[in-house]
Amino acid sequence: MLDEQPRSAARTRVGVLISGRGSNMVSLAEAARAADYPAEIALVVSNIPDVVGLERARGFGIATATVDHRAFGKDREAFERAVDAVLRENRIELVVLAGFMRILTPWFVQRWEGRMINIHPSLLPLFKGTHTHRQALEAGVTEHGCSVHFVVPELDAGPVILQAKVPVLPGDDEETLAQRVLVEEHKLYPAALAEVASGRAKLVGGVVERG
């Protein structure tokens, strides 16, 4: 079993998993440029080759890797063992999911429990799963937003670290609402990562303990 909690003294080595454009990864890489930021974005891994996010990561001088899930057919755990090996080879201490569109098995989640976070474009526990902006519009809510949470085996059910709210405005469609939420995501994720990487927010007994 890997070390329990990220060391708070040195900058925590972070591995970001992406599947596409990587705009959240970019907001984390920009935040990590600050000398006092408690995390270093040491690696970006994609399950799809040649996505824009990999190019953007290289633009920051960040190491990248591709583990193409299609090469593993239906064997999810074999794919995850390959991802896990790349993370360990790079001495990654904390995994950040940023637009990573693969559902992870309990094997991988338990291996990184307490050291893996995700951003979800809704105010959890509302609107789990996909098409969250459509769900919000169909529900007629007046407030929507995004959440950063610890990852647990149950999808989108991990304890929330931080959230940000936006208004739902008359005339909003999925695109306009998604854009408004994305602006908040790019501010929220660097703040939430700093909380975890510094040790100020920890997953203890299934809840977020703040210190």
Q: Is residue 45 a contact partner of residue 63, using CB atoms and an 8 Å limit?
A: no
199 touches ligand GRF by CB under 6 A: no
119 touches ligand GRF by CB under 6 A: yes
Residue closest to ligand GRF, measured at CB: 99
Q: Which of 23, 105, 163, 176 binds ligand GRF (CB under 6 A)?
A: 23
Give CA–CA dist 130/188, Å, rounded: 20
Q: Which of 6, 15, 22, 145 binds ligand GRF (CB under 6 A)?
A: 22
Sort 62 into a burial class: Cβ within 10 Å, 0-12 / 13-18 / 19+: buried
Closest CA to 54 of 86, 25, 27: 25
Return the number of the residue (5 or 155) whose C-beta is nearest ligand GRF: 155
Find the shortest distance in angstroms from Cβ 98 to ligand GRF.
5
Closest CA to 118 of 89, 159, 82: 159
Return the number of the residue (95 or 98) whose C-beta is nearest ligand GRF: 98
CA 42 to each of CA 32, 176, 195, 210: distance values in angstroms, whole numbers, following the listed order: 10, 33, 18, 25
Task: Tell me how many residues contact ligand GRF (CB under 6 A).
Answer: 14
98 touches ligand GRF by CB under 6 A: yes
Run of H or E residues at 57: helix 52-59
Find the shortest distance in angstroms from Cβ 158 to ligand GRF.
13
6 touches ligand GRF by CB under 6 A: no
Return the number of the residue (12 or 122) whose C-beta is nearest ligand GRF: 122
Rounded to 5, what percent of the chain is helix, strand, coil?
Answer: 35, 25, 40
145 touches ligand GRF by CB under 6 A: no
